[in-house]
Amino acid sequence: MDLKYKLGIIIAIIIICSYLIFIPSTQYERIQIAGSTSVQPVAEKLAKKFGETHPNVRINVQGGGSSLGISSVSQGITQIGTSSRELTQKEKIGLNEYVIGKEGIVIAVNNQNNITYLNKTQIKDIFSGKVKNWKDVGGPDLEIHVITRESGSGTRSAFENLIMGKGIKIKNDAIVQSSTESVKQAVKQDPGAIGFVSLARMTNDVKALKIGGITPSEQTVSDGSYSLQTPFLFIVKGEPKGVVKEFIDFTLSPEGQAIVKGEKVVPVK
Contact residues toward other proteins (CB under 8 A) are 37, 63-65, 67-68, 71, 145, 150-153, 169, 172-178, 182, 185-186, 189-190, 193
Surface-to-core class of residue 261, CB atoms within 10 Å of its CB (0-12 exposed, 13-18 middle, 19+ buried): middle
To the nearest whole angstrom, how small is the minimum distance from the Cβ of residue 139 to other proteins? 17
To the nearest whole angstrom, how small is the minimum distance from the Cβ of residue 209 to other proteins? 19
To the nearest whole angstrom, how small is the minimum distance from the Cβ of residue 129 to other proteins? 12
To the nearest whole angstrom, how small is the minimum distance from the Cβ of residue 200 to other proteins? 19
Helix (H/G/I), strand (E/B), else coil: 165: coil
Report how far apart, in Å, the C-alpha atoms of 32 and of each of 73, 81, 86, 101 are: 10, 8, 21, 20
Residue type, 236: V
Cα-Cα-Cα-Cα torsion 211, 212, 217, 222, nearest 10 degrees, comes to -120
In the bound state with other proteins, the residue whose beta carbon lies nearer, of 97 and 190, is 190
Q: How far apart are CA 185 and CA 84, in angstroms?
A: 23
To the nearest whole angstrom, how small is the minimum distance from the Cβ of residue 74 to other proteins? 12
Q: Are 169 and 197 in contact (CB under 8 A)?
A: no
In the bound state with other proteins, the residue whose beta carbon lies nearer, of 6 and 30, is 6
- φ, ψ dihedrals at 200, nearest 5°: -60, -30
In the bound state with other proteins, the residue whose beta carbon lies nearer, of 150 and 223, is 150
CA angle 216, 218, 219 (to 5 degrees): 90
To the nearest whole angstrom, how small is the minimum distance from the Cβ of residue 130 to other proteins? 18
In the bound state with other proteins, the residue whose beta carbon lies nearer, of 206 and 260, is 206
In the bound state with other proteins, the residue whose beta carbon lies nearer, of 114 and 189, is 189
In the bound state with other proteins, the residue whose beta carbon lies nearer, of 177 and 220, is 177
Q: In this structure, are strands 95-109 and 229-237 parallel, antiparallel, or unpaired?
A: antiparallel
